[in-house]
Every structure is written in C-alpha cells, then in structure tokens.
Structure 1
Amino acid sequence: MAKSLTAPARYYQGSALLSQSYRYVSHLGRRFAIIADHLVKDLVEERIEEGFRDAGNACVFLHFNGETTLGEVARLTALICEENCSGIIGVGGGKAIDAAKLVGDTCGLPVVIAPTSAATDAPCSSMAVLYSEEGAFHKVQKLKSGPQVVLVDTEIISKAPVRLLISGMGDAFATYYEARACERAGVQNYTGGVRMHTSLTLAELCRDLLLKYGYQAKRDVEAKRDTQAVENVVEANIYLSGIGFENNGCAAAHAIQNGMTAAIKPFAALHGEGVALGTLVQLIMEYNECGRWNQSEWNQAVTFYRKVGLPLSFGHIGITDADDLLLDKIAKASVTPDSKAHNMPFEITQEKIFTALRQLRDMGL
C-alpha cells in the first residue's frame, strides 16, 4: 500500500489578512460566494469588502443558519447555483467551514476557508462533519479535494473569546495521541494510504507547541493581543492538527466525543472540550490494556489541562449527573461499528470504554 500525505494547496497565516483577501484568492477566479452566519458577517464584512475593492467588490454573502445538516447544504447549494461565482469562501467556525466545503464539493467549485477562531482543526482538512437537525453527530464525509486556500487572520482570532482558543487546544492535543494509536494499530489514514514519518512528526510537533506556548497564548488572547505565542498555538490548532489528524487518523478520543453528543442532548460543551475529555479516557484505556500506568505522561496531560483551562471532569463540561447509567449510554454510543474507537491497537468494547469513563469520573479531578 502506498504512503500518502495530503494538505491544503495554500496556507496563509498572519495579521489583517482578510483586508487583503482578494490578493490571496485571485488565482481562483473573480467572483466569490461568502458563506457566513450573521454574527460573523458583521465581524468580517468590512474587512472582506476592503480586500475585494480592487476586484470591484466581486463577492456576495450567503447566510449560514448555524448547523451543518444535509438540508442546510442543499439550501446553500441551490443558492450558489443562482450566483455566477467562481469560488466559495467559508468564514467562521467549524460548522460554517464544513458547510462551505460540502457546498463546494457538490458544486465543483474551489473552496477558500477563513476561520474566525482557532477552535477546531477543520479548516485544513478535506473532510466535513454532518450533524442531525437536533445537533447530534451524523457522519464524517470525505470530499473530492481539500481547500484551495486557507486564510488565517490572527488579528481576528486573537480577539475571539478565549474559550474558543482553549477548545482548539483540546482538539489539537488529541492529535498526537490518536496518531500514535493509529500507528500502533496499523490502520489506514483518511486518504486511504499508509502514514508517513512526516505525519506523525507533525502530530508530535503539534503537541509540543501546545505544551510550550499554550498557557502564554491563553493569557495573550485574554488580553486581546496577537503575539508570537498566539501565532504558534494557532498554527498548532489549525494547521498541524488538521494535517496531523487527516494523515494519521482519529481514534478513541474523537469517538467518545461523538458518543457524548449522541447520548447527551443538548450537548453544551464545545467540540474540542469533548475531545479533550475523550483523550483522557483514551489514555486510561491504553494504560488499562497494557497493565501499566504511565504516570509521567498522565501528569503532563493533567498539568497542561489545568494551566490552559481544559476540562478534566464531566462536571467541567456541564455533566453534573454522570452516573453509571449515563456513562454506559455514552460508551454504547462510542463503539458503533463505524466508530473510530476501533482504530485503537487493541479490541475495543463497550465495557472497556465504560470502565475508563467511570475511572475518570471517580478520580475527582
């Protein structure tokens, strides 16, 4: 089987990039449909119009309703067909980004992604997550290609709520541990190939940047400062995590997050917060399986979580009644036949996940 590596065609990161947006996308065409919700439109409209001024303001905003469902993708696709556009720009958080990717894939148009936070690693991947009308995880859909351009304006990201940056750190921190599990299991990555040394190295670098700069980046975003620490963590959250998960694979951490969204409705935690908790559960299962607790690795993770403010318990994500019945429900929803939990390097069962969930609960972290 061939080794494989995928990445967005072009990635740009820096301050005030949206005010120069047409410069970075002009090779794709002249007129663009911009998919964003009302709050994001208010935030970026002036900047994007400034960036498109030299092109005669050749852009049109289309409203995203906030949930990436099959119905919303179909609605936006129909609107795009009415516009004479040469490309799509998805602006906002993970769901708006995924909606833009799905619409572009359907219409056969190039896609530009401009995240307004560093809350997820969705911008760089050639995959998109679909949800049910109730907001529960539905499925991950592979796309024909990844984004042609990823445009990361760190001036905007540094002024976003700090919770979003922290959530992104939770999503990104899982990247290395899930990559390591997938390597040990020998499973294919999301491109259908074998991971390269490059892939695991990027995932490891992602973790190391978070450990080194995560706390300072959190403090800087709390003060609305765009600093080098923020730039480093944004690179980890968006680029390294995105490239890392797609070229290595996901495992139990994301499966447990998906299980929680299915078992708990509504699920109040952000994606990265749920993944962060799932990472701890994954580590517990690994330690249980090998019969040896890696205290050094565990302490490193727990210390990092405490410093940056990631959840260490179910109570930290608003689950105050994590009794055995609920934990068993989460475990069952996490181990469906198509679950990424089966990418772990040992047999995964509902009982193993339930045991690890209960161990985390009983630690009282």
Structure 2
Amino acid sequence: MKIVSGHGNYIRGQGLIGQIGEYVGAFGKKACLFGGKTALSLTSDPISQDLLQQGIELLPPIWYGGECSERNINNLKSQVEEFQPEVLLVAGGGKAIDTVKVLGYLMKLPVIAIPTIASTCAAATCISILYDDKGEYLEISRRSKAPDLILVDTQIILEAPVRYLTSGIGDTLAKWFESKASNQKAQPNAFNNGAVVLARFVYELLLKEGKRAAESIHQRVISRELEDVIDAIIAVSGSISNYGGDDCRTAAAHAVYSGLTIFPEVHEVYHGEIVAFGILTQLALEGRPDEEILEVIAYYQQVNLPKTLGEMGIDSSLISEEQWQTLGSVTVEIEDMANMPFEVTPQMVIDGIHRADQLGRTAV
C-alpha cells in the first residue's frame, strides 16, 4: 500500500486576511485562532471582524506558547476543548503552524494555516518538528496533519522583514541537496524521483529569482519573482516533502541545524539560516570540491545567508573540545542524518563544520 499525504487548497493574494470568513465557513461555525505574538497583532483584528460578520463564533486569539513543545500543545488543547471548535486557524511562522498541526491531529479537526512569513514549508507539510520548552530539537513528529487550507496574504509577507524571506530561501535550497542525497538509499519510484526533479527545479528558480525577490521586499513591491519565491518556499517545497516522504525529506543539512541548537546563541538565528550553513557542512561531508562549496557561498552573499559560525553568533574559538564532541555526537544521532547514503561519524561532522566555516571565512 502506498499512502502519500498532501496539503489542501493553496490560495495566495493581496488582502486575503480581510476576506477569510468565506473560506473558514466551509469548515464550521466555531473557530479558534492561534499564532505568534507578532502574527496575531497583525492579523487577529481583521480575521476576527470578518469571521463575526460571517456568523462564525470565535474565541479570543491565543498565543501558541513560543515553542512547538508537548507542554504548549497540551496547554492549548486544554484551553479550547470545552469550546468544542470545529476548525483551527493558525497565523505565524513554522513553529506556530507546526504546533497547531499537532493540535489538529490530536483533536481530529481541520486546520487552516495562515503563514505571515515565507520562511519554511511548514504550512504545506504533514509533519511537525518538536522542541523542548527551551527550543532544543527533539524529534520529527508524524502525529501531525497537513493543513486543509493554506491562505497566504501577499501584502503581509511583503511587510515582514526581508530576513524571513532569505531564511525561507535557505531552508528551501536544502530540498535539492538533501533529497538527492537521501533518495540514493530509496527504492526508486514515481513519487521520490519526481520529488528530486522538483527539488532541482526549485533550486534553480531560487538561484535565478531569489535576489530579485529579496529586493522586492526592500522596495515594498510585489514582483513576479517575489510571488514565485513565496510559492516555492511554502507550497512547492512542502509538496517535495510530501511526495518524497521519508525517502527524500531531510539529511545532513537539517541534522546539523538540529545539532547546532545545543548552542543558545543560535536560538535567535532563524531556522533556514542555520539550515543554510548545514548545507555547506553537508557538501563538506560529501567531499565536494572547494569550488562547488564556494559557488553556494557566493549565492549566500547575494541574499545575505550566513556562511560561517560567527555570522550565526557562535564564536568557534570559545567552543571547548568537549562541546565539539557533544555537537558531533548529537548531530549524528538526529534521524535526519540517517538519510545520508553513507555512515557519518561525529568526527566527520566536526571536520565538516570546520571546513565549511573556513571556506565561508575566506570567501570574498
């Protein structure tokens, strides 16, 4: 039996937040709205007003808790169970959306995702990334559901800091490098091979249009390139994950991301920024020539993605030998690393990070 999960309808346009009631009403007449603090400050009033006009009952907006953690998920469940909602709405970034995807799974309710930043593909995938309450990675949870509807208000994405978009570019670039690595261990089929081909297309699109999309944010102009990159980060990237599944979802780049979360300094660095550095480390692990890694670094310089540990706030000179060994050990234990087509040891991770960091520091 072959089961492939996928997201519901994807709708992108300007001003969608103020027209949300017509979409929500198709799922029920009692709704809960969750999200990040910034996202709720931007969206809760227009969403609440429109839902009330459509006759949809809504609890006051609820902050998701700051981390996609079991404690926060259970807390949200206890807050809304008595209300007996018929549909869950979530506005924000990846962690907020992942949190409510797990909540929707537990409560067996439809989920409408309203990404307010184009930084990950969380709004379009059927998995959630769980952390502890301090923000350290724990696991990929499959007790999660793909959103039944994704609503992207381009105007809100446009008004967000450009750093969120570039972080999304970093996370989405990894789809190509990781899918082609992990798929080497899989039995070829239409879905995983198709996912790799799609990942290559997205990679080439980002190389071509990423810089212009970032410039569009600076200029406050909704360009074709910006729309393409938004769609690629949120929906197309999510489809790659859904089609490829465990055969070609993540590999060393995301394992390095998760390993680096042992350093508190990176908790202020965005997911896709750390993943971008993880890509450089994965290329080093694969023994790619310096020229190939430097080509990727040159693109990072165009869109302002981190290419060194220092650019993520980590002073490598202050890392003790014990911390290096912990980093290596933690990273190889992350399930993403098992998707690499060869065994990776802690020392290989340490050496790969050193090499990536050195190349990043020498790039001009």
Does the alignment reach a TM-score above 0.5?
A: yes
**Is contact 2:211–2:303 with CA below 8 Å preserved after alignment?**
yes
Return the alpha-carbon distance in structure 2 between the equivalents of residues 327 and 183 of structure 1: 29
Pick from 338, 348, 353 the counterpart of residue 349 of structure 2. Answer: 353
Q: Distance in 2 between matches of 1:305 and 1:324?
A: 28
Q: In structure 2, the residue corresponding to 1:158 is in which secondary structure?
A: helix
Query: Partner residue of 2:82?
Result: 82
Residue by residue over 1:98-117, the C-alpha shift from the partner in whole angstroms, topping out at 9 and shown as x without a partner, is 11111111111111110110
Q: 1:225 maps to what in 2?
A: 221
Partner of 2:122: 122
Find the counterpart in structure 2 of residue 160 from structure 1: 160
Q: Where do 1:1-365 residues align within 5 Å?
A: 2=2, 5-60=4-59, 61-143=61-143, 145-186=145-186, 195-246=191-242, 247=244, 248-264=248-264, 267-286=267-286, 288=287, 293=289, 295=291, 297-322=292-317, 323=319, 325=321, 326-336=323-333, 338-363=334-359, 364=361, 365=363
Partners of 1:277 and 1:313 within 8 A in 2: yes
Contact kept in structure 1, 2:87 and 2:110, CA below 8 Å: yes
Q: Deviations over 1:223-242 (max 9, x none)?
A: 22222111111111111222
CA contact (8 A) 1:263 1:330 kept: no
Give the distance between the partners of 2:308 and 2:192, measured in 1 at CA.
34
Query: For the residues of structure 2 that align with 1:159 and 1:52, how far apart are their CA atoms?
Result: 23
Aligned-partner residue type, residue 273 of structure 1: E
| TM-score, normalised with respect to structure 1 | 0.91
Distance in 2 separating the partners of 1:264 and 1:101: 26
Distance in 2 (CA, whole Å) between partners of 1:168 and 1:83 is 35
Shift of the alpha carbon at 1:352? Answer: 1.2
How big is the shift at 1:273?
A: 0.7
Unaligned runs of 5+ in 2: none
After TM superposition, the structure 1 stretch with the greater mean CA deviation from structure 2, 238-247 or 305-314, is: 238-247
CA change 1:196–1:68 in 2 (3 A) is closer
Q: Distance in 2 between the 1:88 and 1:156 partners? A: 20
Go from structure 1 to structure 2 and tell me whether the alpha carbon gap of 1:300 and 1:111 turns closer, same or farther (over 3 Å shift): same
The residue type paired with residue 328 of structure 1 is: Q
Contact 1:19 1:47 in 2 (8 A): yes
8 Å contact kept, 1:92–1:115 = yes
| Letter in structure 2 aligned against 1:18 | I
Name the amino acid aligned to 2:335: S
User: How many angstroms does 1:194 deviate by?
Assistant: 7.6
Cα deviation for residue 262 of structure 1 reads: 2.4
SS at match of 2:159: coil
* Letter of the structure 1 residue corresponding to residue 284 of structure 2: I
Distance in 2, matches of 1:362 and 1:299, equals: 11
Change (3 A) 1:266 1:355: closer
Secondary structure in 1 matching 2:91: strand
1:26-82 CA-to-partner distances (Å, cap 9, x unmatched) read 221122100023332221123213432441253222232212211111110011212
Alpha carbons 1:19, 1:51 under 8 Å: kept: yes
For 1:19 and 1:284, how far apart are their aligned partners in 2?
47
Q: Deviations over 1:144-199 (max 9, x none)?
A: 531101111111011001111111111011011101001112279xxxx9843321
- SS of aligned partner of 1:6: coil
User: Once the 2 structures are TM-superposed, how far is the Cα of residue 221 of structure 1 from its aligned partner?
Assistant: 0.7
* Aligned-partner SS, 2:112: strand
Q: Give 1:212's aligned amino acid.
A: K
Report the Cα offset of residue 251 of structure 1.
0.2
Q: CA deviation at 1:345?
A: 1.1
Structure 1 vs Structure 2: percent identity of aligned residues?
Answer: 29
